[in-house]
Amino acid sequence: MQKAALPDSQAMIRKLRSIVDISDEDEAAILALPITVRQLSADQDIVAEGERPGSCCLVIEGFACRYKILPDGRRQIMAFHIPGDIPDLQSLHLKVMDHGLATTTPCRLAFITHHDMWGLCERRSAIAAAMWRETLIDSAVGREWMIGIGRRSARTRTAHLLCELFVRLQAVGLTRGREYDLPLTQTELGDALGLSVVAVNRVLQDLRAESIITLKSGTVTLLDWEALGAAGQFDPSYLHLKRPPEFGT
């Protein structure tokens, strides 16, 4: 157990600031939380379905995902989590995990015990509200994915996801201009989009051929934001950000 190194809890603060106003006292209370930092390699379970975790985990660095395995072995990824997210905040209220949480890339994670989390929420109701709000935004993102999977074409869904990740990463300062790291294989994208690898691959080919994006060795560049947004029917309001996303020229 160690005290938060500044750059570590900083991630959570930056994230919370992107969705809600945080006072200095609240910030101090967060920084004072005892956390345990753990480094995991890629494709490790953070919490498995059926477990009863005793702490919540904050993603400091890396990508994680929420998933469920079907009886036939196929997988559905239900969310991607980026630095600043607390993917299992829900375990504070729902004791048994109804899905798994895993790293997608090597990750640095900060664990905060439920006990400390409860204490923080009681002492600082603004933080409790912010966290509740965070879980609600998480659902909103899930609903948007549901619409995509249920009603949008392979192309539209894929474009939508690329837009969403750009905006979310930008909100926590992880984009470079119109470019960002997308450390996901096409199989993982497919599992998230409800598509086969082949389908994902073909859509990406098309988007590249139309000079809408560039994607190689894990880096995406949005060459034509307008076109990508249109292709993905993307409207960021469901992300409930405090300030609208920006797209430099």
- Which one-letter amino acid corresponds to residue 173? G
Question: In the complex, what is the shortest distance from the CB of residue 136 to a second copy, in angstroms, rounded to a whole number?
Answer: 5
Which of a second copy, DNA, none is residue 154 near (CB under 5 to 8 Å by kind)? DNA
- Asked if residue 187 binds a second copy (CB under 8 A), the reply is no
User: Could you tell me the CA-to-CA distances from 35 to 113, 114, 117, 141, 225 in Å, in that order?
Assistant: 8, 11, 10, 27, 39
Q: With residue 101 as reference, give the H or E element that holds it.
A: strand 100-103
Question: In the complex, what is the shortest distance from the CB of residue 165 to a second copy, in angstroms, rounded to a whole number?
Answer: 17
Question: In the complex, what is the shortest distance from the CB of residue 93 to a second copy, in angstroms, rounded to a whole number?
Answer: 4
**Window contacting a second copy (CB under 8 A); options: 24-32, 37-45, 57-65, 124-132:** 124-132
- Copy the structure tokens of residue 99: 């899905």
Q: Which of 29, 31, 37, 149 binds a second copy (CB under 8 A)?
A: 149
Which of DNA, a second copy, none is residue 198 near (CB under 5 to 8 Å by kind)? DNA
- Asked if residue 48 binds a second copy (CB under 8 A), the reply is no
- Copy the structure tokens of residue 80: 């991607």
Question: In the complex, what is the shortest distance from the CB of residue 57 to DNA, in angstroms, rounded to a whole number?
Answer: 22
Nearer to a second copy, 49 or 179 (CB): 49
Q: Could you tell me if 1 and 224 are in contact, meaning their C-beta atoms sit under 8 angstroms apart?
A: no
User: How far apart are alpha carbons 51 and 176 in whole angstroms?
Assistant: 38
- Residues engaged in binding DNA (CB under 7 A): 153-155, 185-187, 194-199, 201-202, 204-205, 217-218
Q: Which of 54, 142, 173, 177 binds a second copy (CB under 8 A)?
A: 142
What sign does the dihedral 6-126-169-66 (CA atoms) show? Answer: positive
User: How far apart are alpha carbons 230 and 160 in whole angstroms?
Assistant: 9
By CB under 8 A, the count of residues binding a second copy is 41
Helix/strand/coil for 128: helix
For residue 89, how far is the Cα from the chain centroid? 13
- Asked if residue 189 binds a second copy (CB under 8 A), the reply is no
- Asked if residue 146 binds a second copy (CB under 8 A), the reply is yes
Q: With residue 188 as reference, give the H or E element that holds it.
A: helix 186-193
CB-based contacts of 193, cutoff 8 Å, min separation 6: 148, 149, 154, 157, 158, 161, 200
Q: Which of 137, 215, 223, 241 binds a second copy (CB under 8 A)?
A: 137
User: How far apart are alpha carbons 16 and 52 in whole angstroms?
Assistant: 26
- Asked if residue 139 binds a second copy (CB under 8 A), the reply is yes
Residues near a second copy (CB under 8 A) are 66, 68, 70-71, 74, 76, 78, 90, 93-94, 96, 98-99, 122, 125, 128-129, 132-133, 135-140, 142-147, 149-152, 193-194, 233, 237-238, 240
